[in-house]
Amino acid sequence: MRILGVRAAPKEASFVVFCTEERVFKCVDVVNIPQTLSTPEKLKYIRNSISDILREYLVDTAAIRVAESTSKNLNIDRLYIEGVIQEAFASSNVAQYFTLRKKSICARLGINTAQFNDNEIKGIRLSDYDTNTKEAILSALAVEK
């Protein structure tokens, strides 16, 4: 099974494609959103990029780490991007997709929120990655069967 984990930010979307059989990452990358585009064009760009990733890597399951609903610093661009990514999941051929917040990721991984920032979870070393990529990885691991 191949799982796509995504974490959106206002100017980019970090993603990983995790192969559960081999327990390896087929891809760890970032989709940089061109800032010269208008908002609708940015959203089209990210949707097309995510759709391409889903097709190229034959993804079975997808998960996105979304902003906390109680966050005081909600960024509207991030929310737009998260919505478009979720729509791309829904319009694709993935068998299932998940929208996850920090608590649901922790619950699925069997960890507490203090362990969310640990350097290793489920045998995967996270210390080599930036925060957004770590959250994309944790999203993918959280939906692994």
CATH number of the domain within which 82 lies: 3.30.420.10
Token pair 């991030």 in the structure block, residue? 78
Would you state the structure tokens that stand for residue 41, as one six-digit string?
């064009």
**DSSP codes of every residue in 92-136:** S--SEEEEE-HHHHHHHHT--GGGGG-SEETTEE-TTS-HHHHHH
- Report yes or no: 109 and 138 within 8 Å, Cβ to Cβ: yes
- Report yes or no: 31 and 46 within 8 Å, Cβ to Cβ: yes
Per-residue pLDDT of the chain (145 residues), as tens digits, is 999 999 999 999 999 999 999 999 999 999 999 999 999 999 999 999 999 999 999 999 999 999 988 767 788 999 999 999 999 999 999 999 999 999 999 999 999 988 998 999 988 899 999 999 999 999 999 999 8
The strand pair at 96-100 and 120-121 is best described as unpaired
**Within 10 Å of residue 95's Cβ, how many Cβ atoms?**
10
The domain tally of the chain equals: 1
Range of the domain at 77: 2-142
pTM of the full predicted structure? 0.94
